[in-house]
Structure 1
Amino acid sequence: MDQPAISDYGFLSDCRSGALVGRDGSVDWWCPDRFDGPAVFGRLLDPEAGHWCLAPVAAGRPGHRVERAYRPDTLVLRTVHHTPEGSVAVTDALAAELGARGHRLGMSSPAVLLRTVEGLSGRVRMASDFAPRPDHGLLTPYLHDQPDGAVLAVAGATVLELRSDGPPLRAGPDRVRTEFDVAAGDTVGFTVAYGRTYGERPARLDPSTMMAETVQAWEAYRETHQYEGRYRDLVRHSAVVLTGLTYTRSGAVAAALTTSLPERIGGDRNYDYRYAWLRDFSMTLRALWVAACPSEASRLFAWAARSIGRPGPEPVPVLFGLEGERDISEHDSTHLRGYAGSRPVRFGNDAWRQRQLDVPGEMISAVWRLHHLLGDPLDEELREMVLGLADEVADTWHLPDRGMWETRDADRHYVSSKVLCWVAMDKAVALAPRLGERADARRWAAIRDEIRTSVLREGWNETVGAYTGAFGCREIDASALFLPVAGFLPATDPRMRATIEVIERDLGTDSGLVRRWDTDPAGFLLCSFWLVECLVLAGERERAEALFERVVGHANDVGLLSEQIDLHTGAQLGNTPQALSHIGLINAAWRLTDPTSD
């Protein structure tokens, strides 16, 4: 299947939903209701699952060239098409609420996709092909011309309203096609507004006015984010991407915009990442704290605390829906062919059912990191949460689990999971004075020390000369790089230093990429950024800087990173844009700025 490369896509967001638009001018992914809702444009996963292409008629022919960039500190994307007849700029955005500024971005977004065409030189023939297919391509809508010139697309629970302030629109049997000329100085605007079939009619907005409002909303939002450390432009842009992945209504950060983009073309490790993972919590908080502002980190924490609720007999799931939904059961699509033929296509993620021992450590660490904002003493709900999670770790740390890579085979005693159990006990001890009479700091400290002894004894493999992925195994796993990052061992510890060297030798590449394990077909970007942090902590700053600069070179032309990079072609793989990759970039840049940061 001939599909655009993953790196060909730019990311649009209104902080409740997101869209992907290709270099060819086609919007191939948009779930307008919320990030994890049904797509109305799904060509990303099947050529027949819907798209909206707006580009010169000459696109793709000899003499056609594309340049694109975001407006600074925004997710408003400007694509310039140069053709033999002239040049045009297409600016794409998801509309902000009228007058939205600061942290109101995304609170009441109107769910409107804005596209404006500006003539720059000559006279260019443009074509628009609007072919929505709601419910992930299951539905072909009825198209209705309206007296005011709009076209309504209606199917199932979805209504889309296409408008133009330029060429007239006419409904075809299953799409709206139109061609028009744009001369230098001309501006033509389009909007597609989303609504519910049995709700109010979709919002009607002036494209030029709303484009200006959306730019101002993003710029005002970014004014609250101050970062003056190293690699400032890269960090600020990654912070904008994280903002774009934040579901503002709750504060949850989606792991990625997409589902089922493969780790290997034609492979079956294709998962739905449109949810929020607690495992990533402390790393996400640290990145928001460094590159964003405290209120964003606090809102994310409040979402997680509410989602967990009062700890009970069932273990805390590793991920939740964006409004705290716990049951996000997985199912395979039977009608979508998958990106480049990679099947299955999955909606939902059954990792929520797995036992993941590392989750409490992430949460208790987050409370410890933010305790000065959360109050002294902590309120009753936070005390109960920490006490419950600490007791859960005390009772279960010795059990096997599925590990941070969420394997779908057997449970094992993963080293990284045990380390985060140690983190949970260590931070619970530190928080004990704020937790009231039920805090059992002496017991927690004893268990913490027992976990540490177990990891140091069982996690080290003398034959391999490194800490391995799980107790009693010989498989090198890049998750061992997390030990110094989590503060479990200094990077200068002789065994830890040996582990870093083995991972560099056996899992690293000349391009700076680090695989998770030796059979992993691609470099995992977060692991590469962990290696940067480890080298800084080991006192090898120059090597760390050189590695960081090689790794960030894998971003696409508008600074977006997916989950993985193909070792042979350099192509981006996996769901995109990937929050953990941008979180890793921010945290590694800050480590290069301040090696003593925790």
Structure 2
Amino acid sequence: MHVDNGEKSAIPLDAIPARSSGYVDLRSYSAIGDGLTVALIAHDGSIDWYPTPLLDSPPAFARLLDAENGGCIELAPDGDFTVERAYIPRTNVLQTTYTTATGSARVTDSLNTGLSGRLPWGELARRIEGLEGEVAMRWRVAPGTALASASPWAHSSPLGPVLRIGDTTVGVRGTAIGDSVVTGRDISGTFTARRSSHHLLGILTTSAEPLQLPDPEDIDRGIDRTVRYWESWSAELRYEGPWSDEVLRSALALKLLHSPSGAIAAAATTSLPESLDGGKNWDYRFAWVRDAAYTLHTLIRFGEREEVHAALSWLLRVARDRGADLAVFTRLDGGEPDAERAVDVPGWRRIGPVVTGNRAKGQLQLGIYGDLFEMVRLYVEGGHLLDTDTTRLLSEMADRTCDVWQRADAGIWELQTDRHYTSSKMGCWHALECAVALAEEGHIEGSVERWRYERDRIRDWIDEHCWSETLQSYTWYSGTDQLDASVLLHAASGFDRGPRMSSTIDAVTRELGDGPLIYRYSGADEEEGTFVACAFWAVAALVEVGRRREAEELMGRLVPLANDVGLYSEMIASRDHSFLGNLPQGLSHLALMAAALTLVEEY
């Protein structure tokens, strides 16, 4: 099979504006991680986001949201330079080559893993290798205020200077990085990289416990061990088809968002704006049932086993704890999510607010019933067996779906006005469709006749109340002619793969589209950027309704919109393709993977 993938080169780094007032364009960020947290690295070598020890910890390094007091870890040539960077293939370890007027040097950035997986401390390793000539390098480790919650300070210890920010302790270890200069709140130094020279800057972190300070040679070896870990993980993914590099990069980006509990964070950051006008800033360092279901849907199709089982087990534990009224999202440890709270820091490019927690806590989102059942259905289709407690829980949830589908809810977009959203009703239909199939196959028991009856009632209700003859499209919610791109998800769910869904795709791309990109719903173009996942949902929907050639053409236009290292944010501004919203965004990468898999599976 030959597919024209379109232009593969990402928007070049020289098109990204330089750091302005302490901030860089969001396209500038690459991401590394260790299974506990994620660090974001700008093209100029500054680590501007690094919560430690966990992704949802108060970030000791948060220049991303507070240029003056947020904190950063800098490493770059001392003077003008150009940048080339890429991940080591099949890993989340980044390599950046800096070229100056006098020479070039390569930096390898890794959040190191241990012999048996995650390390019990944070170990950020930055290896510097001289390539040609001489390059004067400078470095600085400068913690911030952890989003205005602590004041950093440096002090001497028997093993050298350390930094403290609240409960977090930061140590610096190095090889051939010059003498350390300690001020009241940072540690810095300079050195020169020459042809074949080898240097290491290691940053060690713990929280409310003793600080491990390994030998620098052990930290350096940890980079190679981490490369091997990622290569081994990537080798387990089975995908043969077009856009294989982009699909694997998306899988690796998603792996960064997996936590030890089995939960999957929606994104690695908080409060990056969806609009340059401000006001639409959210904390995505939580685990959404919806996102977990989409992740498992994709990874099951890849043949991945360990993360699938861990994530499914996490979700079922959450469901058992909360009962048949499913929680929309939880903390990464499975606990009750925090209420939204504003933090007194300026935000990226001073676009606020900066928040922790999320106001979607307590919302009713009916679509998650379909997400849960889809995930379980795929799990058992993979040859796996459900336990007794899970079968009882699923029977209860199917009964609950029969009771609640008629209610208005907040919908997939977590809006403040409850309505009878079409995609929510389709999600309930899908939940009961899966429940009936699971019962017929002997996996669960329950009121199967009732499930069939209510399933068919939902379809009839949608056909009567959520279809516009004028637009020839399913609508956003009953009683309106406005549109919602999330309806396209239900081509894949099987609700509709016929003429109505096909014409809905046309209406959505006509009314909500801007080039290859798509806004979430009617009116969104006035308040935010295009939503990356929606465009990839359109690709998959086109395939499901038999319009493969159009799907391939759209996919070829979307894939190059990643940044230079293959990452996507939540949204993209249609006018200049700048990134908006939190990043890396799990849903964006999931949608790319699902689109690619659908193209291959339906060939």
Q: TM-score, normalised by structure 2?
A: 0.92
Given that 2:273 and 2:351 are in contact with CA atoms closer than 8 Å, whether structure 1 keeps it comes out as yes
Aligned to 2:100: 83
In 2 relative to 1, CA 65–437 (structure 1 residues): closer, same or farther, beyond 3 Å? closer
Whole-Å separation in 2 of the counterparts to 1:19 and 1:292: 28
Residue from 147, 151, 165 that aligns with 2:161: 151
Residue from 18, 37, 43 that aligns with 2:38: 18
Given that 1:259 and 1:270 are in contact with CA atoms closer than 8 Å, whether structure 2 keeps it comes out as yes
Given that 1:92 and 1:116 are in contact with CA atoms closer than 8 Å, whether structure 2 keeps it comes out as yes
* Identity value in percent: 34
In 2 relative to 1, CA 282–174 (structure 1 residues): closer, same or farther, beyond 3 Å? closer
Aligned to 1:160: 170
Q: Quote how far apart the aligned CAs of 1:231 are.
A: 1.8
Residue from 18, 26, 43 that aligns with 1:6: 26
Residue from 183, 187, 207 that aligns with 1:176: 187
Whole-Å separation in 2 of the counterparts to 1:232 and 1:468: 34
Residue from 306, 322, 342 that aligns with 1:332: 342
Q: Quote how far apart the aligned CAs of 1:374 are.
A: 7.0
Whole-Å separation in 1 of the counterparts to 2:487 and 2:230: 38
Q: Quote how far apart the aligned CAs of 1:373 are.
A: 5.1
The alignment partner of 1:33 has SS state of coil
Corresponding letter in the other structure for 1:513: L
Aligned to 2:297: 286
The alignment partner of 1:471 has SS state of coil
Whole-Å separation in 1 of the counterparts to 2:522 and 2:92: 37
> Which stretch of structure 1 is more off in the superposition, 3-12 or 537-546?
537-546
Q: Deviations over 1:258-278 (max 9, x none)?
A: 011111123211111111111
In 2 relative to 1, CA 201–363 (structure 1 residues): closer, same or farther, beyond 3 Å? same
Corresponding letter in the other structure for 2:264: V
Q: Quote how far apart the aligned CAs of 1:137 are.
A: 4.4
The alignment partner of 2:47 has SS state of strand
Whole-Å separation in 2 of the counterparts to 1:137 and 1:53: 21
Whole-Å separation in 2 of the counterparts to 1:387 and 1:328: 30
In 2 relative to 1, CA 224–109 (structure 1 residues): closer, same or farther, beyond 3 Å? farther
Q: Quote how far apart the aligned CAs of 1:279 are.
A: 1.4
Residue from 82, 86, 101 that aligns with 1:65: 82
Residue from 344, 355, 371 that aligns with 2:364: 355
Aligned to 2:438: 431
Corresponding letter in the other structure for 2:560: G
Aligned to 1:507: 512
Whole-Å separation in 2 of the counterparts to 1:251 and 1:437: 24
In 2 relative to 1, CA 455–203 (structure 1 residues): closer, same or farther, beyond 3 Å? farther
Whole-Å separation in 1 of the counterparts to 2:444 and 2:546: 42
Matches within 5 A, 1:373-384: 375-376=384-385, 378-384=386-392
Whole-Å separation in 1 of the counterparts to 2:549 and 2:440: 41
Matches within 5 A, 1:218-233: 218-233=230-245
Whole-Å separation in 1 of the counterparts to 2:393 and 2:181: 57
Corresponding letter in the other structure for 1:346: V
Residue from 520, 525, 535 that aligns with 2:532: 525
Aligned to 2:453: 446
Aligned to 2:400: 392
Aligned to 1:257: 268
Given that 1:40 and 1:137 are in contact with CA atoms closer than 8 Å, whether structure 2 keeps it comes out as no
- The answer to whether 1:238 aligns with 2:250 is yes
Unmatched runs of 5 consecutive residues or more in structure 2: 1-19
- The answer to whether 1:200 aligns with 2:220 is no
Q: Quote how far apart the aligned CAs of 1:342 are.
A: 1.5
Given that 2:264 and 2:291 are in contact with CA atoms closer than 8 Å, whether structure 1 keeps it comes out as no
Residue from 306, 327, 344 that aligns with 1:317: 327
Residue from 24, 44, 61 that aligns with 1:41: 61
The alignment partner of 1:112 has SS state of strand
Corresponding letter in the other structure for 2:483: I
Unmatched runs of 5 consecutive residues or more in structure 1: none
The alignment partner of 2:409 has SS state of coil
Q: Deviations over 1:111-156 (max 9, x none)?
A: 11111111111111111121102532432322123444x3210232
Whole-Å separation in 1 of the counterparts to 2:436 and 2:143: 55
In 2 relative to 1, CA 292–379 (structure 1 residues): closer, same or farther, beyond 3 Å? closer
Q: Deviations over 1:178-201 (max 9, x none)?
A: 12111111111011111124x222
Residue from 72, 79, 86 that aligns with 1:51: 72
The alignment partner of 1:182 has SS state of strand
Whole-Å separation in 1 of the counterparts to 2:359 and 2:402: 26
Residue from 102, 105, 115 that aligns with 2:126: 115
Whole-Å separation in 1 of the counterparts to 2:238 and 2:438: 29
Q: Quote how far apart the aligned CAs of 1:403 are.
A: 0.6
> Which stretch of structure 1 is more off in the superposition, 302-311 or 571-580?
302-311
Corresponding letter in the other structure for 1:350: R
Superposed CA RMSD: 1.8
Whole-Å separation in 1 of the counterparts to 2:302 and 2:253: 11
Given that 1:160 and 1:202 are in contact with CA atoms closer than 8 Å, whether structure 2 keeps it comes out as no
Whole-Å separation in 2 of the counterparts to 1:485 and 1:331: 37
Whole-Å separation in 2 of the counterparts to 1:437 and 1:359: 19
Given that 2:399 and 2:447 are in contact with CA atoms closer than 8 Å, whether structure 1 keeps it comes out as no
- The answer to whether 1:516 aligns with 2:501 is no
Q: Deviations over 1:307-365 (max 9, x none)?
A: 1215537x2111111121123221111x2101111111111112121011111211112
The alignment partner of 1:576 has SS state of coil
Q: Deviations over 1:366-422 (max 9, x none)?
A: 11111145755x3221112201211211111100000101112x1000000000000
Given that 1:310 and 1:385 are in contact with CA atoms closer than 8 Å, whether structure 2 keeps it comes out as no
Given that 2:77 and 2:135 are in contact with CA atoms closer than 8 Å, whether structure 1 keeps it comes out as yes
Corresponding letter in the other structure for 1:152: V
Given that 1:42 and 1:136 are in contact with CA atoms closer than 8 Å, whether structure 2 keeps it comes out as yes
The alignment partner of 2:172 has SS state of strand
Which runs of structure 1 show a deviation greater than 4 angstroms over 4 or more consecutive aligned residues? 372-376, 433-438
- The answer to whether 1:552 aligns with 2:559 is yes
Whole-Å separation in 1 of the counterparts to 2:378 and 2:82: 48
Given that 1:364 and 1:389 are in contact with CA atoms closer than 8 Å, whether structure 2 keeps it comes out as no
Matches within 5 A, 1:124-143: 124-143=135-154
- The answer to whether 1:346 aligns with 2:358 is no
Aligned to 1:574: 581
Given that 2:391 and 2:444 are in contact with CA atoms closer than 8 Å, whether structure 1 keeps it comes out as no
Aligned to 1:92: 109
Given that 2:263 and 2:332 are in contact with CA atoms closer than 8 Å, whether structure 1 keeps it comes out as yes
Given that 1:368 and 1:431 are in contact with CA atoms closer than 8 Å, whether structure 2 keeps it comes out as yes
Given that 1:311 and 1:389 are in contact with CA atoms closer than 8 Å, whether structure 2 keeps it comes out as no
Aligned to 1:496: 501
Given that 2:300 and 2:379 are in contact with CA atoms closer than 8 Å, whether structure 1 keeps it comes out as no
Residue from 30, 52, 64 that aligns with 2:50: 30
Whole-Å separation in 1 of the counterparts to 2:316 and 2:131: 51
Given that 1:31 and 1:41 are in contact with CA atoms closer than 8 Å, whether structure 2 keeps it comes out as yes
Whole-Å separation in 2 of the counterparts to 1:509 and 1:332: 33
